[in-house]
Structure 1
């Protein structure tokens, strides 16, 4: 894959390892997840979202590729698991060494 910032790598590794603590820790204190227009801001809300929508649903990413390099950086991946299954774009905004946001779209 193209150059991926360390904060994005940490989040993707956390998803691969099903480690919700590491996933949440990749975000800044005021970071957020935007899941198709629904926003979850701050560590507690990101954790709750992930418990219900991502790691708690044993999500897997396969065939992950960078579709838009830079910052923000967008990856396209095939999502599997016990929740949503299908292709998705994940756009990460990195500020310093943490994620300011992760936005999920079709």
Structure 2
């Protein structure tokens, strides 16, 4: 994977769990009130994030092939460009991770 910025360990764990289709391990990467912003639709907390993932992410057998990594302004966020595959959306997407105290508080998915 070409990278300009090293990934925080929790982001590596997020990507590994998603590619392994391991929902429980994937959810453990989030803070208790962690959220997913899926192209403007925001889901907060483990129950809502799990329901979304079951229907549209891990449940759709997502694959994430990281092609680029960059730090956000002031290194507050890390953005991963990935080629998404699986039984749902297929194509490139940006995943911007906000990490707090070693866990993901927000992942924003955009074009």
**Do they superpose with TM above 0.5?**
yes
What is the CA distance between 1:63 and its match in structure 2?
4.0
Of 30-39 and 1-10, the range deviating more from structure 2: 1-10
Q: Does structure 1 retain, via aligned residues, the 8 Å contact 2:66–2:80?
A: no
Query: What pairs up with 1:33-52 in 2 under 5 angstroms?
Result: 33-52=36-55
Alignment RMSD (CA, Å): 1.2
TM-score, normalised via structure 1 length: 0.94
**Match of 1:66?**
69
Matched, 1:29 2:32: yes
Secondary structure of the corresponding residue to residue 33 of structure 2? strand
TM-score, normalised via structure 2 length: 0.90
CA gap 1:63/1:32 in 2 versus in 1, 3 angstroms: closer
Give me the whole-angstrom Cα distance separating, in 2, the residues matched to 1:47 and 1:6. 21
Give me the whole-angstrom Cα distance separating, in 1, the residues matched to 2:9 and 2:66. 19
Of 28-37 and 1-10, the range deviating more from structure 2: 1-10
Give me the whole-angstrom Cα distance separating, in 2, the residues matched to 1:94 and 1:32. 11
Give me the whole-angstrom Cα distance separating, in 2, the residues matched to 1:33 and 1:63. 18
Number of residue equivalences: 106
Matched, 1:94 2:64: no
Unpaired stretches in structure 1, ≥5 consecutive residues = none
CA gap 1:55/1:97 in 2 versus in 1, 3 angstroms: same
